[in-house]
Amino acid sequence: MNIIQNIEREQMRMDIPRFKSGDTVKVHMRIIEGEKERVQVFQGNVIRIHRGTTSATFTVRKISDGVGVERIFPLHSPFIEKVEMITEGKVRRARLYFLRNLKGKAARIKPKTNW
């Protein structure tokens, strides 16, 4: 059992900043198309975080051309170049699935103010 934990600990990434649901993040993802490789940026609100060791994931939602797009990213994936925090959101829930039914200004998340 200890051997498995050591292997998982080696695979985990420590360079990703701490964020929570409601935060706006930019995820720089490495995309391989044929022989070419590029970095694609996906910016949106974090609506869910699934904690775990190497199986941790987070879901990011954005609106693209009026259509909601959600993408699930493995937190410790080697294909993630970096994750940038843009803004901290002020939310009272851990799962923000209610944003799927909202449109326009109603779907905004208020920024957190540091008083």
Kindly list the structural domains of the chain, giving each domain's residue range(s) and its CATH number in brackets, ordered by start: 2-102 (2.30.30.790)
Per-residue model confidence (pLDDT) at position 53: 79
Q: Does residue 7 surpass a pLDDT of 70?
A: yes
Average pLDDT over residues 20-34: 94
Q: Is the pLDDT of residue 87 over 80?
A: yes
Question: What share of the chain has pLDDT > 70, as a percent?
Answer: 98
Looking at residue 14, its pLDDT comes to 86
Q: What average pLDDT does range 19-27 have in this prediction? A: 94
Nearest to 100 by CA among 73, 57, 67: 67
Q: One-letter amino acid identity for 5?
A: Q
Average pLDDT over residues 24-43: 95
pLDDT (0 to 100) of residue 115: 66
Tell me the C-alpha to C-alpha distance, in Å, between residue 63 and each of 3, 87, 98. Answer: 43, 17, 14
* pLDDT attached to residue 45: 95
- Cβ-based neighbours of 111, under 8 Å, separated by 6 or more: 87, 88, 89, 90
Read off the tokens for 42: 């996906």
| Residue 113 clears pLDDT 90, i.e. is over it | no
